[in-house]
Structure 1
Amino acid sequence: MNRETYALVKDNKAEIALPAGVTVQVKVKTNSKAMQKVTLKDNHDRVDLEFAGTGEKNTIGDKTITPVDKSLFTAVFEYAGDDGVFKPSKLNSGGPYDIGNYHLMVVVAENGDDSDYNDTVLEFSWHTK
């Protein structure tokens, strides 16, 4: 396992390092009535994904990526207020959690209507040999 795998959050942005050469499942879920948006880009412009949606327990994104080298990713989290204007979310992160050869890392967002940090959930998971 590459110990340089991490997620660092600051304001509404997360810097994410994923293992190279491994297929990574990227899932985005919402748990909010407010429109949620996550934009994920790598530092080589090879990955450029945007996910948006609303609802409780709603999967709004499910993609696979394979980082080629030491790509750093940036995820930007926003939500639309009642006025329809996107505003920055507050973030928290966890992981990577290693369960045998399964690995999981999450970044979660809160839009301020409560404090449960599940309005948007960005999940990265992968297997190693």
Structure 2
Amino acid sequence: MSDKAYVFTKDDKAEIVLPSGVTVQVKVKTNSKATQKVTLKDNHDVVDLEFSGTGERNTIGDKTITPVDKSLFTAVFEYAGDDGVFKPSKLNSGGPYDIGNYHLMVVVAENGDDSDYNDTVLEFSWHSK
């Protein structure tokens, strides 16, 4: 099921393809004192989510979505600097990781105060039949 799923990152944007017709859990976590923001949209204007928040090990989003055929998602990652203005984050990604019928993809963001790439963590997980 995950062979059709992928994630590609460039700058502060991630292009994500998820399998259609399955329920996908979307979780967003922060590990930063700076406010983090993730905007997730699909190419069908069905999914249009925005998550923002701050804190260590803080879940700022937990939703389920069901992608439709040929859904391409775009996620934009930003953080608020000391001046309160949102700036682009740097991204890295992994997956899909397949563990039996469980699948996981992650996109992680760094805002530049260190280099641990955990300031924002966007997780997609789903089960195949």
Q: TM-score range with shorter-chain normalisation? A: over 0.9
**How many residue pairs align between the two structures?**
129
Please provide the CA RMSD for this pair: 0.5
Q: Runs of 4+ in structure 1 displaced over 2 angstroms?
A: none
Partner of residue 103, structure 1: 103
Distance in structure 2 (CA, Å) of the matches to 1:98 and 1:83: 41
Q: Compute the displacement of 1:68 (Å).
A: 1.4
Residue by residue, what CA displacement relative to the aligned partner does 1:5-50 show, whole Å, maximum 9, x if unpaired? 1000000000000000000000000000000000000001000000
Q: Hey, what's the Cα distance between the residues in 2 that align with 1:24 and 1:3?
A: 15
Report the TM-score when normalising by structure 1.
0.99
Give unpaired runs (5+ residues) of structure 1: none
Secondary structure, counterpart of 1:46 in structure 2: coil
Alpha-carbon distance in 2 for matches of 1:77, 1:42:
15
Is it true that 1:31 corresponds to 2:25 in the alignment?
no
TM superposition score normalised by structure 2:
0.99
Q: Partner residue of 1:67?
A: 67
Structure-2 separation of matches of 1:42 and 1:81: 27
